[in-house]
């Protein structure tokens, strides 16, 4: 309640007279209070007065002092409420008083109680998170502490109701909850922007509720692993941000690496988020509108993908009044190559979160990110795979998924050749739910193979079946994995058979074996496995055949893929040097000690490769280094 000046004397002993808001009801009138009333009728035996729109009654002439006309104000107190509901007041003769306005105490119904109030009038207070103009009514999606519900208001023929109200505003809605297409929707009579005081109060309440509901589930680690625990606070922070994002009605888009580990990372998070969205939204279609997952074909976030994502997001905002999404990058996103795409999105309200285990460039990316989780930031490395991190992340979002996910970290680890000590524990965990190491490898191989043919599709169901997360038929899972893994191996064998006779060998000065293959001329093109995986398969074959140290170069017209076992290649440094040394070579690329790729201008290929090999011949031998046992 706030002070109001008109007839206030400032005298602390003046009695208080209450001025009721028009919405106040008789429940808000007490027997010992004084009220400001307005005459709305004069009759022989007294006057009728209004205290609010809903509180009226008679002041009998015997309780009345003086003459009144319609519109006159006087101070009254409550005399009687009869059984039939008639109310009578007494005029109170008072000159100095302090006037206090009484706000109506709305009987607010929380979103998660609307089901019980279907058909009756309710009030709702919360924040607008989406405004969708349909051909008919305007749909305001309003969130409170307990959920999000669409409120339909009809102005006229596709015309925006309450154009002064925007997404993020705090409002009070009065209306009737109805089943519409089966879901709860409020057929609203009115929508009122809250004043600052009320808004601040609701905001605080919603914030407190979000703070509480966004808290990640407190799950025990699947295995004990000290190194991993260093990252846990970061992952919890992402879990909280994602839950908050859902609670605030903002869409989420995942872009992930299209390989085994990328799938092990994104599928669990996808399911966890969809289930959480279902719990928050009254609209059962919400998970379709608010969540989308897509693979990236490149190992980084390409401008073309970013432009397309932005365009879809802007289209959704215009057509459906949605907020712009949060972008969640999984198993890629940590490198400098991602920055042009991030910079494009930065001009719009699109927070970006990265979970990755590839060698990061924090200086380049972190200014553009809301959260960045990467084991290298904690002096750990690729051995903590993104799939391992995301299984924990998914469990923090939806702890009930735990049982479905026990085999997933092992698949992720095997897919990305993680040499982590913890792999033993993960393998043990997987074996408890029936997976031996061969089967886990098959699952990884199947995911890789499926990802290749799916190209730009998320391949949702097929991939769920291959990973056995959200899969309905375990027998099919096993059959499918057997089939896909075998297809994958056969096609890799075919590729090796074609390629191996063409591989050129030389011995470098540092004693390393160097193998080169022209993936354009000497392998099957436009099929599985693609050049990167083909080079890897040749390298692994040669390491097994020869023993360390081995370097393999798979080169195409304007690129090459590099792999090393037992030789320390500082690939980023090599790229920088090549770019300086070879004028017009246009050399760029990335990677780390044992894995990398280089792009160059087609016409300078020989020069670039020769210079590269020279550098490799001078590189230090370090038998501990292995790409055969690391992620590509």
Residues numbered 435-464 forming contacts with a copy of itself, rule: CB under 8 A: 450, 453-455, 457, 459-462
Question: For residues 20 and 152, which CB has a smaller minimum distance to a copy of itself in the complex?
Answer: 152
Closer to a copy of itself by CB, 205 or 289: give it: 289
Task: Examine residue 318 and tell whether it contacts a copy of itself (CB under 8 A).
Answer: yes
Q: What is the 8-class DSSP label of residue 156?
A: B
Q: What CA–CA distance (Å, rounded) separates 198 from 95?
A: 32
CA distance 341 to 266: 20
Q: Which of 5, 156, 220, 624 binds a copy of itself (CB under 8 A)?
A: 156
* Cα first-last separation, the chain: 65
- Region from 14-22, 300-308, 414-422, 546-554 binding a copy of itself, contact rule CB under 8 A: 300-308
Q: How many CB atoms lie within 10 A of CB 233?
A: 9
314, 367, 424, 511: residue in contact with a copy of itself (rule CB under 8 A): 314
Question: Does 476 participate in binding a copy of itself (rule CB under 8 A)?
Answer: yes
Residues 309 and 36: their CA atoms lie apart, in Å, by 59
- Residues near a copy of itself (CB under 8 A), total: 76
Q: For residue 481, what is the DSSP state?
A: H
Using alpha carbons only, how large is the chain's radius of gyration in Å? 34
- Cβ at position 586, least distance to a copy of itself in Å: 3
Residue 139 or residue 569: which is nearer to a copy of itself going by CB? Answer: 139
Ramachandran region of residue 50, left (φ > 0), alpha (ψ -120 to 50) or beta? beta
φ/ψ (deg, to 5) at 181: 50, 30
* Distances in whole angstroms, Cα of residue 122 to Cα of each of 106, 117, 140, 403, 419: 9, 7, 16, 41, 59
Q: Mask 581-610, x = binds a copy of itself (CB under 8 A)?
A: --xxxx------------x-xxxx------
Smallest gap from residue 38 Cβ to a copy of itself (A): 36
Helix (H) or strand (E) holding 30: none
Instruction: Name the packing angle between helices 423-432 and 437-454 (round to 10°).
Output: 90
Count of CB atoms within 10 A of residue 85's CB?
8
Q: Binding of a copy of itself at residue 311 (CB under 8 A)?
A: yes
Question: How far, in Å, CA of 517 to CA of 512, rounded?
Answer: 16
Query: Does residue number 211 form part of the binding site for a copy of itself (CB under 8 A)?
Result: no
Q: How far apart are CA 162 and CA 130, in angstroms?
A: 13
d(CA 436, CA 408): 12
Residues 116-135 that bind a copy of itself (CB under 8 A): 134-135
* Complex with a copy of itself: residue 41 or 340, whichever CB lies closer: 340
Is residue 525 within the footprint of a copy of itself (CB under 8 A)? yes
The least CB distance from residue 159 to a copy of itself, in Å, is 8
Beta carbon nearer to a copy of itself, 90 or 478: 478
Nearest in space to 138 (alpha carbons), one of 156, 157, 154: 154
Query: Can residue 367 be called a binding residue for a copy of itself (CB under 8 A)?
Result: no
Q: Beta strand pairing status for 122-133 and 3-4?
A: unpaired
Stretch that binds a copy of itself, among 82-90, 337-345, 416-424, 540-548 (CB under 8 A): 337-345
- 3-class SS at 559? strand
92 binds a copy of itself (CB under 8 A): no
| Distance separating alpha carbons of residues 292 and 256, to the nearest angstrom | 11
List 213, 289, 320, 502, residue binding a copy of itself (CB under 8 A): 502
Residues within window 36-65 making contact with a copy of itself, judged by CB under 8 A: none
166 lies in the binding site for a copy of itself (CB under 8 A):
no
Q: Contact, 87 vs 55, CB < 8 A?
A: yes
Cα–Cα distance, 494 to 488 (Å, whole number)? 10
* Site map 368..407 versus a copy of itself, x via CB under 8 A: ----------------------------------------
CA 562/CA 611 separation, integer angstroms: 14
Backbone angles phi and psi of 93, in degrees to 5: -90, 110
Assess 343 for contact with a copy of itself (CB under 8 A): yes
Task: Please report whether residue 310 would count as binding a copy of itself according to CB under 8 A.
Answer: yes
Least separation in angstroms between CB 176 and a copy of itself: 16
By CB under 8 A, the residues from 167 to 196 that bind a copy of itself are 179-184
Could you say which residues in the range 555-584 bind a copy of itself, by CB under 8 A? Answer: 558, 583-584
Site for a copy of itself in 10-29 (CB under 8 A): none
Pattern 243-282, binding to a copy of itself, x per CB under 8 A? ---------------------------------------x
- 100 touching a copy of itself, by CB under 8 A: no
């Amino acid at each position: 309640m706030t002070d109001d000046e008109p007839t206030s004397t400032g005298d602390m002993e003046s009695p208080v007279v209450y001025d009721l808001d028009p919405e106040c009801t008789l429940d808000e009138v007490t027997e010992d209070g004084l009220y400001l009333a307005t005459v709305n009728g004069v009759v022989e035996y007294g006057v009728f007065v209004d205290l609010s729109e809903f509180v009226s009654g008679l002041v009998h002439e015997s309780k009345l002092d003086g003459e009144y006309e319609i519109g006159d104000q006087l101070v009254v107190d409550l005399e009687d409420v009869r059984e039939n509901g008639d109310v009578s007041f007494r005029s109170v003769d008072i000159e100095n008083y302090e006037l206090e306005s009484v706000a109506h105490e709305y009987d607010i119904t929380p979103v998660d109680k609307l089901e019980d109030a279907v058909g009756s009038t309710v009030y709702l207070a919360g924040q607008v998170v989406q405004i969708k103009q349909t051909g008919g009514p305007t749909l305001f999606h309003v969130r409170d502490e307990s959920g999000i519900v669409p409120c339909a208001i009809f102005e006229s023929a596709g015309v925006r109701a309450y154009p002064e109200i925007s997404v993020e505003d705090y409002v009070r809605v009065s209306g009737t909850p109805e089943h519409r297409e089966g879901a709860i929707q409020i057929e609203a009579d009115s929508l009122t922007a809250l004043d600052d005081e009320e808004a601040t109060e609701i905001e605080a309440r919603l914030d407190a509720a979000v703070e509480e509901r966004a808290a990640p589930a407190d799950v025990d680690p699947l295995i004990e692993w000290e190194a991993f625990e260093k990252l846990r606070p970061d992952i919890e922070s992402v879990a909280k941000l994602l839950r908050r994002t859902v609670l605030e009605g903002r869409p989420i888009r995942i872009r992930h690496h299209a390989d085994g580990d990328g799938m092990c990372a994104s599928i669990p998070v996808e399911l966890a988020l969809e289930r959480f969205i279902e719990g928050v939204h009254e609209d059962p279609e919400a998970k379709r509108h608010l969540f989308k997952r897509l693979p990236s074909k490149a190992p980084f976030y390409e401008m073309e993908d970013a432009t397309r994502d932005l365009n879809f997001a802007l289209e959704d905002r215009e057509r459906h009044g949605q907020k712009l999404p949060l972008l969640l990058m999984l198993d890629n996103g940590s490198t400098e190559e991602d920055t042009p795409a991030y910079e494009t999105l930065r001009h719009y309200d699109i927070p970006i979160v990265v979970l990755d285990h590839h060698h990061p460039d924090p200086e380049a990316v972190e200014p553009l990110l809301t959260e960045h989780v990467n084991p290298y930031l904690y002096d750990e490395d690729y051995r903590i795979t993104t799939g391992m991190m995301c299984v924990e992340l998914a469990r923090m979002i939806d702890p009930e998924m735990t049982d479905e996910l026990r085999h997933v970290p092992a698949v992720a680890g095997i897919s990305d050749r993680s040499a982590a000590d913890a792999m033993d524990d993960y393998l043990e965990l997987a074996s408890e739910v029936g997976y031996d190491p061969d089967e886990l490898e098959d699952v990884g191989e199947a995911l890789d193979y499926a990802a290749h043919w799916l190209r730009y599709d998320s391949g949702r169901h097929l991939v769920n079946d291959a990973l056995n997360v959200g899969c309905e038929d375990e027998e099919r899972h096993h059959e499918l994995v057997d089939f896909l893994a075998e297809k994958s191996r056969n096609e890799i064998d075919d590729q090796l058979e074609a390629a191996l006779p063409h591989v050129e060998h030389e011995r470098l000065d540092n004693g390393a074996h160097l193998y080169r293959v022209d993936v354009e001329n000497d392998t099957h093109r436009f099929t599985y496995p693609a050049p990167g995986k083909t080079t890897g398969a040749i390298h692994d074959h040669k390491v097994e055949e020869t023993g360390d140290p081995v370097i393999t170069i798979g080169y195409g017209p304007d690129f090459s893929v590099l792999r090393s076992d037992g030789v320390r290649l500082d690939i980023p440094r090599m790229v920088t040097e090549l770019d300086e040394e070879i004028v017009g070579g246009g050399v760029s690329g990335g990677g780390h000690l044992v894995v990398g790729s280089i792009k160059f201008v087609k016409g300078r290929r020989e020069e670039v490769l020769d210079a590269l090999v020279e550098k490799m011949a001078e590189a230090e031998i370090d038998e501990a280094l292995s790409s055969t046992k690391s992620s590509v």
